Structure 1
């Protein structure tokens, strides 16, 4: 069973999933703090390069199955044109201004 993005608890994470699924790069970038960082499978990555490759140029899409930590941790089936579909875990750090200062993802 999946959780509709509109039903996700954390408004910033909800907006992140919506931006990914609609391939809205401007909305996605607006959610990130200026010095935001990210990691994939435990290794820090260049955020701009990674998001272009793994989300925008490869048509990334998230189907969320579980949320925890007030909606800031997700388990989702993630698919894109490069890797196909895999079960992934996502963890978000949201700053006081409501923007994402860090996210981490990897296989679940």
Structure 2
């Protein structure tokens, strides 16, 4: 596993740190105001998705590997709703913040 503080891309590191700390404010601060996301190929409402899949269900990422300068991750993601699954994450970064992320099963 790669500790979050060792992730290469600072914007991704901030987002992963926020997820693992269950810190909604830090999560939102790590995103651009117009950030978007998709889950398993379907665009979702980012705020609703994050509330459901991360914050109300104790989401947590254990990063297995990174690529593309730290903008692509494979992680073991777990929450109280779905348990643990191996997931792939891809991030777009603009002005030092995440502007889009895509996640799905790896």
* TM-score normalised by the chain length of structure 2: 0.99
2:103 maps to 105
Partner SS, residue 13 of structure 1: helix
Aligned equivalents of 2:35, 2:14: Cα separation in 1: 16
Partner SS, residue 85 of structure 2: strand
Unaligned runs of 5+ in 2: none
Deviation at 1:3, TM superposition (A): 0.4
Aligned equivalents of 1:77, 1:103: Cα separation in 2: 16
Deviation at 1:67, TM superposition (A): 0.1
Per-residue CA deviation, residues 53-104 of structure 1 (Å, 9 max, x unaligned), is 0000000000000000000000000000000000000000000x11111000
Aligned pairs, number = 106
Runs (4+) of structure 1 moved beyond 3 Å? none
Aligned equivalents of 1:44, 1:18: Cα separation in 2: 23
1:52 maps to 51
Unaligned runs of 5+ in 1: none
1:84 maps to 83
Aligned equivalents of 1:30, 1:20: Cα separation in 2: 12
2:28 maps to 29
* TM-score normalised by the chain length of structure 1: 0.97
